[in-house]
Amino acid sequence: MNTTQKVEKKFNNLFGNKNKLVIKSPGRVNLIGEHTDYNEGWVLPASIDKCSTVLLAENNLAHCRIFAYDLDKLFEFKLDTEQTAWGWENYIYGIVKEMQSRGANLSSFDLMVTGEVPFGAGMSSSASIECATAFGLNELFNCGFSRSELAHISQMAEHHFVGVKCGIMDQFTSLMGKDNHCIFLDCKTLDYEYVPLDLGDYKLLLCNTNVSHSLAGSEYNTRREQCLEGVRFLQEQGHDFESLRNVPPELLLRYSEEMERDIFKRCYHVVHENQRVKKAVGILKESKDIRALGEELYQSHHTLSRYYEVSCPELDFLVGETFHHKEITGSRMMGGGFGGCTINIIHQDAIDSFIEETGLKYLKKFGKEMTPYIVTLGDGSRIVD
């Protein structure tokens, strides 16, 4: 029995055997463009083949029943009451509330969720649950929201019910992803372009530090505030910027002495990272120069670690280990930071030896396993027959 069949059996036992919708929504990787999304910048993520799966059906009861298969936990709530629970259930409950606040006419339902996106690894397991739920409810109750509206709904569920003021990248990618492509996304306008990810003999390898990050732990929201403070500083100097989106790096540099040090450093990362995203897109579309692409990843890690200060010793170590492997063209921390994975562009022949050698060194230094994942891309949210 595969996982979906097992979950289906559990659903039938718990909620009764009825016609149900089965939805899959993937996690994501991000090639480049970190902490730019909530600054109205650009990102280059891709949806992966690891998904969260949601099974759902109307239940004709006075309340909803939701069950987390992997946690073996049940939660019940009424659609018209306000709950103040703060746990796993908020990813689903938050979607319900956000959809209702936009006029969705929902009835009580049963829902079961299971996930294969590693939790806390920076691969957006939470977004994949939110998006699968939003996509499923939208189908079940014919709400008529577009995919990008569902992405916004899922992002707001995270803001209001999980407490992380995240950008739109993860949810947009989970809903809009396309197999074998990255999404070059303008996070202000939501204009996007699918860019084929053709790395030839190279693969994307994720190395999970197994340091679990908690973005809700205020650091993420603090970074967001600091960027806004940078924008306010520039406005006070007479510049007409509403975000860091169009700030040229040369202009920012003019204020390197006057700006508060930490604020300058946060802005420094963002304005350069935006430029790197556009360069990376150019490389993927034209030269396909994997070394040049890798160099952008290294630069990204440098400013994420030293200027944005969202890395950690384990991530820095794993990136550092790649320097003397010429089969790796680039490496950087991926996602919100403070733990999770590095993303590496590596020649396929070198994958096994790199994993073995680096895994051992990592274990020796930090007393923890490093978990590798070779990335396979996949499609965005979909109904499974």
3-state secondary structure of 104: coil
CB 182 within 8 A of CB 194: yes
Cα–Cα dist 288/286, whole Å: 6
Say which residue the tokens 């820095």 belong to: 316
Q: Which is nearer to ligand GLA, 35 or 301 (CB)?
A: 35
Confirm or reject binding of residue 37 to ligand GLA (CB under 6 A). yes
Q: Which is nearer to ligand GLA, 266 or 347 (CB)?
A: 266
Q: Which is nearer to ligand GLA, 12 or 148 (CB)?
A: 148
DSSP percent split of the chain into helix, strand, coil, nearest 5: 40, 20, 35
Confirm or reject binding of residue 167 to ligand GLA (CB under 6 A). yes
Confirm or reject binding of residue 32 to ligand GLA (CB under 6 A). no
Applying CB under 6 A, the span of 31-39, 88-96, 99-107, 261-269 interacting with ligand GLA comes to 31-39
CB 337 within 8 A of CB 315: yes
CA atoms within 13 A on the CB side of 211: 24
The identity of residue 54, as a single letter, is V
Confirm or reject binding of residue 120 to ligand GLA (CB under 6 A). no
Confirm or reject binding of residue 280 to ligand GLA (CB under 6 A). no
Using a 10 angstrom Cβ sphere, with 0-12 exposed, 13-18 middle and 19 or more buried, the burial of residue 1 is exposed
Question: Which one of residues 7, 27, 29, 38 is an interface residue with ligand GLA (CB under 6 A)?
Answer: 38
Query: What is the closest distance, in whole angstroms, from the C-beta atom of residue 258 to ligand GLA in the complex?
Result: 27
Question: Which one of residues 66, 166, 185, 315 is an interface residue with ligand GLA (CB under 6 A)?
Answer: 166
Question: Which one of residues 40, 98, 110, 170 is an interface residue with ligand GLA (CB under 6 A)?
Answer: 170
The answer to whether 170 is a known catalytic residue is yes
DSSP 253-306: HTTTTTS-HHHHHHHHHHHHHHHHHHHHHHHHHTT--HHHHHHHHHHHHHHHHH
The first and second tokens of residue 161, run together, are: 């019910």
Question: Which one of residues 48, 169, 270, 281 is an interface residue with ligand GLA (CB under 6 A)?
Answer: 169
Question: Which one of residues 8, 25, 29, 34 is an interface residue with ligand GLA (CB under 6 A)?
Answer: 34
Confirm or reject binding of residue 31 to ligand GLA (CB under 6 A). no
How far apart, in Å, are the Cα atoms of 55 and each of 100, 153, 173, 383?
20, 19, 21, 10
Query: What is the closest distance, in whole angstroms, from the C-beta atom of residue 344 to ligand GLA in the complex?
Result: 17
Say which residue the tokens 């679990």 belong to: 212
Q: Which residues, 6 or more positions from 367, have their beta carbon under 8 angstroms from its beta carbon?
A: none
Residue count (the chain)? 385
Give phi and psi for 347, each to the nearest 5. -65, 135
Question: Which one of residues 24, 35, 245, 301 is an interface residue with ligand GLA (CB under 6 A)?
Answer: 35
Q: For ligand GLA, what does the binding mask look like between residues 223 and 252, x meaning CB under 6 A?
A: ------------------------------
Question: Which one of residues 26, 27, 335, 339 is an interface residue with ligand GLA (CB under 6 A)?
Answer: 335
Q: From the candidates 170, 262, 289, 379, give the one annotated as an active-site residue.
A: 170
Applying CB under 6 A, the span of 29-37, 134-142, 257-265, 323-331 interacting with ligand GLA comes to 29-37
Applying CB under 6 A, the span of 6-14, 102-110, 166-174, 243-251 interacting with ligand GLA comes to 166-174
Q: Which residue numbers are catalytic?
A: 170
